[in-house]
Amino acid sequence: MKIALATLNGKTVTGHFGRTKAFVVVNLADGAEAGREVRDVGSCTQGDHPDPGHRRRHHDLVDTVRDCQVVIAGGMGLPVQDRLQGAGIEVVLTDIRSIDEAVQQYAAGTLAHDADRAHSPGGDHH
């Protein structure tokens, strides 16, 4: 199973999925980490999303992790959450910032999803 963690620096889970610069993709086998890679999606040059639809950016983000079963982020908008789930990808939103800790908790089955970390378009960003 592959899990993708949204990140800006490769070490921490980003608080806002839409501003993600890369994903740390971890391969889990038998509940343990079996490999890790970083997938760049480029820097977010859209600032605070001047395109209200965010369609191109969201498309690029989802395509980068299409082969993953899970995406972990600190927060995201409901439209991209729906897009990920529509692609068969589980979304886990968390306040855990350490990528290593989030991977360990997910592998152990203890990483809780906080649905309140999702926001409607134009809503609060975490």
Tens digit of pLDDT for each residue in 4-47?
A: 999 999 999 999 898 899 999 999 999 899 999 999 985 444 44
Q: Which of 64, 104, 99 is nearest to 84 (CA)?
A: 64
Ordered by where they begin, the domains of the chain are 2-50+57-116 (3.30.420.130)
Task: Provide the pLDDT for residue 26.
Answer: 98
Burial code (b: 16+ CB inside 10 Å, e: under 16) for 83-116 equals: bbeeeebebbbbebeebeebbebbbeeebeeeee
Task: Provide the pLDDT for residue 19.
Answer: 85
- Tally the C-alpha atoms within 13 A of residue 92's C-alpha that lie toward its C-beta: 24
- List pLDDT tens digits, range 50-75: 444 455 667 788 999 999 999 999 99
Q: Give the tokens for residue 88.
A: 């068969």
Q: Give the tokens for residue 39.
A: 């997938």
pTM score, two decimals? 0.85
Check if the beta carbon of residue 4 is closer than 8 Å to that of residue 71. yes
